[in-house]
Structure 1
Amino acid sequence: MTLLALSCTLIFVFITMFVSFWKKIGLEKSIAIGSIRAAVQLLAIGYVLQYIFKTESLAFILIIVLIMIAVASWNASKRGDGLKGVFWRIALTIVAMEAFMMLFLIGLKLIEPTPQYIIPLSGMTIGNAMIVAGLFTTAVKREVETSRGEIETLLSLGASGVQALQGPMKRAVKFSMIPTIDSLKTVGLVQLPGMMTGMIIAGADPVEAVRYQLLILFSHTGSAAMTSMILSMLYQKLLFTPDLRLRKIGRS
Structure 2
Amino acid sequence: MLIAQISDPHIRPAGQLYQGVADSNRMFEEAIDHLHALDRRPDLVLLTGDLVDEGHPDEYAQARRLLAKLEIPHLVIPGNHDSRENFRAAFADHAYLPAEGALHYCIDDHPVRIVALDSCIPGLHHGGIDARGLEWLQRTLEAERTKPTLLMLHHPPFTSGIPYMDAYRYMDTAPLETIVRDAPNIELVLCGHVHRTMLRRWAGTVVCACPSSTTEIALQLAEDAAPASYMGRPGCMLHLWSEAHGMVSHVSHIGAMEGPFPFA
The normalised TM-score by structure 2 is 0.27
Q: Which has the higher strand share?
A: 2
The normalised TM-score by structure 1 is 0.28
